[in-house]
């Protein structure tokens, strides 16, 4: 489990939903994959108003019907241009309607835009007081932005930073993650299977990954995911619309990599030695 600053415990594993809901002909299959996850111990779903212009939230809303709302956590994101006094409430209401629920566990600012952060924080806090969101956080914030948020009134209410992080893209380990660790803000790692970002070359058909996968009798993708699941204060949100892949991803939580295997992965895919720009998908 990962502890948020407000004391809430979040699972280290959740599911992403970007591109799920894009195609009507895949709706039933994707819905069943999400439902399979909820029936097999997954308690965290990530989505956003941006994904498929709301179609991902609609799919999630359809999939969660019949499940006890208190038994899982729902995260969605507001687009930066909607994160204002004038527009955020309307965005949230539309998200809640698509999701067929009356609250979000976490509402994230998708990335930093033009609306002053203080204004966004004030609306987040109002929505929290009204019970429409339990907590709020940020996404795609680099170190200086996280630090500057912290200096704003109620900036310490931020609970999480969702950023790109996978074995082939470890730039956050240089400065951002150590800083976040020092102030107790967890990472929610997006693209944890390496399906995004600029720094992911070489993950496919790599000898080290293949050897470790063979030893554990798992797939290479499961090893890639397992690397992120082994990181402290980090939650992974892999996405799949494929039932067999969902089974593999859920099972990846049980893979125990030895410190020697983690060292080999570290050597094969080292974190950069100097700060690099935050990788973004
Ligand atoms: N905050 C942000 O700006 C931001 C940006 C990007 C993503 N996200 C969030 O993070 C989530 C995860 O990121 P992502 O979807 O970009 O990338 P990802 O989870 O790293 O990779 C998803 C891809 O991996 C494939 N895959 C999944 N499990 C697999 C398995 N066991 N074996 C083989 N292939 C597998 C999927 O295809 P199949 O469907 O065929 O399995 C899909 O093509 C998103 O869905 C979204 O919720 C947030």
Which class is 2-268 in CATH? Answer: alpha beta
Residue 18 burial (C-beta neighbours within 10 Å; 0-12, 13-18, 19+): buried
Whether the CB of 249 sits within 6 Å of ligand 1: yes
Strand partners, 75: 46, 106
Taking every pair of Cα atoms in the chain, the longest distance, rounded to a whole number of angstroms, is 55
Local confidence pLDDT in tens for the 281 residues of the chain: 999 999 999 999 999 999 999 999 999 999 999 999 999 999 999 999 999 999 999 999 999 999 999 999 999 999 999 999 999 999 999 999 999 999 999 999 999 999 999 999 999 999 999 999 999 999 999 999 999 999 999 999 999 999 999 999 999 999 999 999 999 999 999 999 988 666 666 888 899 999 999 999 999 999 999 999 999 999 999 999 999 999 999 999 999 999 999 999 999 999 999 999 999 98
Task: Give the Å distance between the CA of 245 and the centre of ligand 1.
Answer: 11
- Whether the CB-CB separation of 257 and 224 falls below 8 Å is answered with no
pTM of the predicted model as reported, rounded to 2 decimal places: 0.98
Please name the residues in contact with 146: beta carbons below 8 A apart, sequence gap of 6 or more: 138, 158, 161, 176, 179, 180, 185
Q: Is the CB of 220 under 6 A from ligand 1?
A: no
Ligand 1 contact, 31 CB (< 6 A)? no
**Given 10, 51, 107, 165, the catalytic residue:** 51
């Amino acid at each position: 489990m990962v502890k948020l600053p407000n004391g809430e415990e979040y699972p280290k594993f959740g599911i992403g939903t970007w591109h799920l809901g894009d195609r009507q002909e895949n709706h039933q299959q994707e819905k069943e994959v999400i439902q399979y996850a909820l029936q097999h111990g997954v308690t965290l779903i990530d989505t956003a108003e941006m994904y498929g212009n709301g179609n991902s939230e609609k799919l999630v809303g359809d999939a969660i019907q019949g499940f006890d709302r208190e038994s899982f956590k729902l995260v969605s994101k507001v687009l930066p241009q909607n994160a204002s006094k004038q527009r955020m409430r309307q965005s949230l209401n539309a998200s809640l309607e698509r999701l067929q629920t009356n609250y979000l566990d976490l509402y994230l600012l998708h990335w930093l835009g033009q609306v002053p952060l203080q204004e966004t924080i004030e609306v987040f806090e109002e929505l929290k007081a009204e019970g429409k969101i339990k907590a709020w956080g940020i996404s795609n914030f680099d170190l200086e932005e996280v630090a500057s948020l912290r200096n704003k009134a109620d900036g310490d209410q931020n609970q999480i930073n969702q950023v790109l992080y996978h074995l082939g893209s470890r730039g956050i380990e240089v400065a951002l993650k150590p800083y976040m660790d020092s102030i107790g803000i967890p990472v929610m790692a997006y693209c944890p299977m390496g399906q995004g970002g600029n720094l992911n070359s070489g993950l496919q058909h790599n000898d080290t990954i293949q050897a470790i996968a063979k030893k554990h009798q798992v797939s290479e993708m499961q090893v890639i995911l397992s690397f992120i699941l082994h990181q402290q204060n980090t939650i992974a949100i892999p996405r799949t619309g494929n039932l067999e892949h969902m089974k593999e991803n859920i099972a990846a939580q049980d893979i125990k990599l030895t410190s020697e295997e983690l060292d080999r992965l570290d050597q094969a895919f080292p974190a950069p030695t100097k700060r690099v720009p935050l990788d973004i998908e």
